[in-house]
Amino acid sequence: MQPWAVEYGTLWGYERSDGLPPVCPARIEVEFDEIGPADIDALRAAMNLPTTEPIEQRFRGRRRCFSLKVEGQIACYGWVTQGVECVGELERQFNLGDDEAYIWDCATLPAWRGQRLYSALLSQILHQFHAEGIRRLWIGASQQNAPSVQGIANAGFQQVVDVVYRRWFRLTYFWMKAAPTAPPDLVSAACHIMVNDHERQLGSVAIGYR
C-alpha cells in the first residue's frame, strides 16, 4: 500500500421518483444484452484478462454485467452491483440498500470509441433497472475524466456529491460536498452508502483510521 492517496470524484445518481429519462442512442446500431455463461470467454477477451476466473469470482457475488454488441461482438460493457462493492479509487466499500444498485468498471473497446456507446450503455442499464423496480442507481467518476462525466450526464444521471479522499499512512479524510441542484434526501442517501464503519462523520467530513 502506498503511504498516501488522493482522489477527486463525483457520485452521480438516478432516483426512480424523478421519472424515466429518454433513451440515449448510440451513433451506430447496437444490441443491449446481459452477459450470461455463454459470453464469459468473449467478456474475458474484451476485458483483456488471461483467464475467466476474475469474472467468475465477480459473478459469485451480487454482480451482473451488461454489454452493447456490434454485429454480435462485445463493443462496450459495464458491471452493476447490488449489496456491497469495494471502490478501489476511494479505498472504501459502498454499502447499498436492497433497492439500490451501483454501476462500475465500464469500458468501450478501442475500435468502437467515439460512437457514444458509453452513454447508450448507461442509458440502457438505467432503463433495465427501472423496469426491475430499483429505487436508486449510482455511478461514480473521477472529476478529471471529462469523457466519462459527459457520458454519465448524457444517460440521464444527476450530479449528487463531489468528494475528496485523502489518506496519510493510516489516517483518512473524506470530504463530501452536495451538488447545488441535488435533492437533500438523495445527498443524504449518497453519504450513507459511502461513509464506512472505521470513519466518524462530522458534518460533511468523515475522518478515519484504517
Which residues have a Cβ under 8 Å from the Cβ of 92 and sit 6 or more positions away? 86, 165, 174, 194, 196
- How far apart, in whole angstroms, are the C-alpha atoms of residue 159 and residue 12? 5
Residue 114 is predicted with a pLDDT of: 97
Asked if residues 190 and 138 have their Cβ atoms less than 8 Å apart, the reply is yes
What are the angstrom distances between the C-alpha of 185 and each of 15, 73, 133, 192? 10, 40, 19, 10
Residue 190 is predicted with a pLDDT of: 98
Q: Which residues of the chain have pLDDT under 70?
A: none
Residue 210 is predicted with a pLDDT of: 86
pLDDT digits (tens, 9 = 90+) for 17-35: 999 999 999 999 999 999 9
Given the C-alpha cell 469500458, which residue does it identify? 107
Identify the structural domains of the chain with CATH numbers, from first to last.
4-209 (3.40.630.30)
pLDDT digits (tens, 9 = 90+) for 79-91: 999 999 999 999 9
In this structure, what C-alpha cell is assigned to residue 52? 475467466
